[in-house]
């Protein structure tokens, strides 16, 4: 039986810029079940980031309701919002948003420090494991400026994973990365999804959307298409292919 993780009801976001109202989201209704892997696509300015920020509890909707795990988030207090961000959601940004001059390990430890339940006793051990999971066991004491873009994004992913959330939200996680590195990141996403973590990500490229299981297309703040992906790509195999191609090119 499938259980609902995300359900939005007439979710609407309007920005006021001077005298003009920008309707970034217009009554969006979507439902995402546990274990899904959703790619959100759409033209620039169609409201993808706005939707992601609302799903990630980083911003408040102008109207409408957002149910996460059965809880109506619009009824929550500020502190409960913080708890949800800390416990249930791992957010990955296009621009990484790592703390500068701070080692990968310390960056990944951060969410553990803000965990009020203190589920994890040994922060360092937990953070080390998260970094190993994204393949950065040998880069723990590097600061962001000493890491490549792909490595920084993997640190950000480790940070998103460290509190073992049930939902990973990623807004153009590979927007700043080359295609090989991007496929590596999607490979990680697929593995995490196989482990049962629900993933919602925004991407601009149809090729990358094919790594997901379902695709939602947006235009002008509305959902215009919502479909299962038929020919799903396996990132592991794609990775082998692109690496082989790169070797031939050399």
Partner 1 sequence: MKAKIILKVATRSIMKSRMRSLLTALGIIIGVAAVVVMVAIGDGAQQKVEEQIASLGSNLIIITPGASNSGGVNRGMGTFNRFTWEDVDKIKNEATLIKGVTPIVFSGGQVVGGVGNWFTRIQGVSPDYLEIRSWPLASGEFFTERDVMARAKVCILGADIVKNLFPNDDPIGQQIRIRNTPFRVIGVLKAKGQSSVGTSNDDIILAPSRTVGDRLSGDHMRIGSIQVSAISNDKIPAVIAELKSIMRESHKLTQGEDDDFTIQDQSDLSETATATSRILTILLASVAGVSLVVGGIGIMNIMLVSVTERTREIGIRLSIGARASDILVQFLTEATVLSLSGGVIGVLLSFLIAYLLNNYTSQSAYIRPQIIMIAFGFAGAIGIFFGYYPARKASALNPIDALRYE
Ligand X SMILES: Nc1ncnc2c1ncn2[C@@H]1O[C@H](COP(=O)(O)OP(=O)(O)OP(=O)(O)O)[C@@H](O)[C@H]1O
Binding site for ligand X (CB under 6 A): 15, 17, 22, 24, 42, 44-50
Q: Tell me the number of residues near partner 1 by CB under 8 A.
A: 30
Got the DSSP string for 118-135?
A: ---S-HHHHHHHHHHHTT
Cβ-in-10-Å burial (0-12, 13-18, 19+) of 110 comes to: middle
Distances (CA, A) of 132 to 8, 120, 140, 187, 195: 35, 17, 9, 15, 16
Rule CB under 8 A: say whether 214 interacts with partner 1: no
Query: What b/e string do you get for 152-172 counting C-beta neighbours within 10 Å, with b at 16 or more?
Result: bbbbbbbbbbbbebbbbbbbb
CA dihedral 151, 152, 153, 156 (to 10 degrees): 120
Binding partner of residue 115 among partner 1, ligand X, Mg ion, none, CB under 5 to 8 Å per kind? partner 1
Total residues contacting Mg ion by CB under 5 A comes to 1
Residue 92 Cβ vs ligand X, minimum distance, rounded to whole Å? 14
Q: Give least dist CB 59 to partner 1, A.
A: 5
Nearer to Mg ion, 49 or 151 (CB): 49
Instruction: Give least dist CB 115 to ligand X, A.
Output: 29
Residue 13 binding partner 1, by CB under 8 A:
no
Question: Nearer Cβ to ligand X, position 80 or 207?
Answer: 207
**Shortest Cβ 107–partner 1 spacing (Å):** 9
Residue 46 contact among ligand X, Mg ion, partner 1, none, beta carbon within 5 to 8 Å by kind: ligand X
- CB 62, CB 12: distance < 8 Å: yes
């Amino acid at each position: 039986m499938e259980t609902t993780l995300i359900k939005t009801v007439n979710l609407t976001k309007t920005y006021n810029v001077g005298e003009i109202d920008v309707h970034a989201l217009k009554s969006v209704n979507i439902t995402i079940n546990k274990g899904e892997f959703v790619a959100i696509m759409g033209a620039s300015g169609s409201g993808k980031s706005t939707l992601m920020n609302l799903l990630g509890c980083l911003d408040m909707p102008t109207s409408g309701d957002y149910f996460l795990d059965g809880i109506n988030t619009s009824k929550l207090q500020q502190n409960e919002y913080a708890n949800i961000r800390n416990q249930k959601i791992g957010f990955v940004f296009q621009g990484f948003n790592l703390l500068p001059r701070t080692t990968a390990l310390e960056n990944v430890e951060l969410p553990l420090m803000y965990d009020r339940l203190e589920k994890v006793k040994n922060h360092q051990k937990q953070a080390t494991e998260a970094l190993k999971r994204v393949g950065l066991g040998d880069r723990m004491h590097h600061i962001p400026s000493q890491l490549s873009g792909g490595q920084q994004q993997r640190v950000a992913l480790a940070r998103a994973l460290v509190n073992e959330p049930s939902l990973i939200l990623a807004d153009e996680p590979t927007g700043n990365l080359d295609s090989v590195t991007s496929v590596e990141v999607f490979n990680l996403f697929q593995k995490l999804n196989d482990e049962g973590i629900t993933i919602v990500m925004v991407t601009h490229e149809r090729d990358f959307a094919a790594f997901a299981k379902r695709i939602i297309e947006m235009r002008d703040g509305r959902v215009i298409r919502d479909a299962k992906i038929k020919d799903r790509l396996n990132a592991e195999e794609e990775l082998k292919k692109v690496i082989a191609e790169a070797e031939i090119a050399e």
